[in-house]
Homo-oligomer: A and B are copies of this chain.
């Protein structure tokens, strides 16, 4: 209404999310967030909440944004389960390859910090991992995988997806990351073929 301009909250949240994503909760100070968002220290508290609240908002934002993409990638699972799994991993691989985004994964980093994070934050990160597993299991069941195999592969695919976050930060090349998922996709392909 008055005063200079209303800053764009979405843009600020994106910047904060990327900062947390890159450096993690412990290594991100409120001054870092101020620099990253371009917002004043007081503005952050007045419109984005304190550090803990803001972190949870960023975590939700991250989980929703990429959760939707994972859902979209898996949407063809009933018809072509292998292609769905490949598209699933492509979401992660493209995210890692994007120079505008950090390596790693905000959820993976948060989960790794479980012992020192607040219980609510740790629970929310665990929830995101659980959701990923549910998503994958549903997709694999939709593709003609029997319950047992769907359960195993859902867990395996979720884990391999998280491994990409670790390996990308270890300097592993795009080709090597692709090799990691290709072994998994081959295994899935053979299991799918065997159940025909």
Residue A165 lies at the interface, judged by CB distance under 8 Å to chain B: yes
Alpha-carbon gap, A102 to B153, bound state (A)? 26
A-side interface mostly:
helix
Interface size class of A (residues with CB under 8 A): 35 or more
Residues of B within 8 A of A167 (CB): 129, 158-159, 162
Contact of A166 among B26, B102, B108, B153 (CB under 8 A): B108
Query: Does any Cβ of B come within 8 Å of A184's Cβ?
Result: yes
Partner of A183, one of B22, B26, B172, B184: B184
Contact between A166 and B116 (Cβ–Cβ < 8 Å)? no
CA distance A75 to B105 in the complex (A): 34
Stretch at the interface among A5-13, A57-65, A80-88, A174-182: A174-182
Number of copies: 2
Rounded to whole angstroms, the CA-CA distance of A186 and B184 in the bound complex is 10
Which B residues are in CB contact (< 8 Å) with A155?
Answer: 172, 176, 179-180
Most buried by B among A112, A126, A167, A187: A112
A window 101-148: CB within 8 A of B: 102-104, 108-109, 111-116, 125-126, 129-130
Q: Please, which residues of chain B bring their CB within 8 A of the CB of A180?
A: 155-156, 159-160
Pairwise interchain contact A112-B166, C-beta atoms closer than 8 A: yes
Closest 4 CB pairs of A and B: A163-B163, A187-B187, A156-B183, A159-B163
A selection of 17 A-B contacts at a CB cut-off of 8 Å is A23-B116, A102-B115, A103-B115, A114-B170, A129-B170, A156-B180, A159-B160, A159-B163, A159-B172, A163-B163, A183-B184, A183-B187, A184-B184, A184-B187, A186-B187, A187-B187, A187-B190
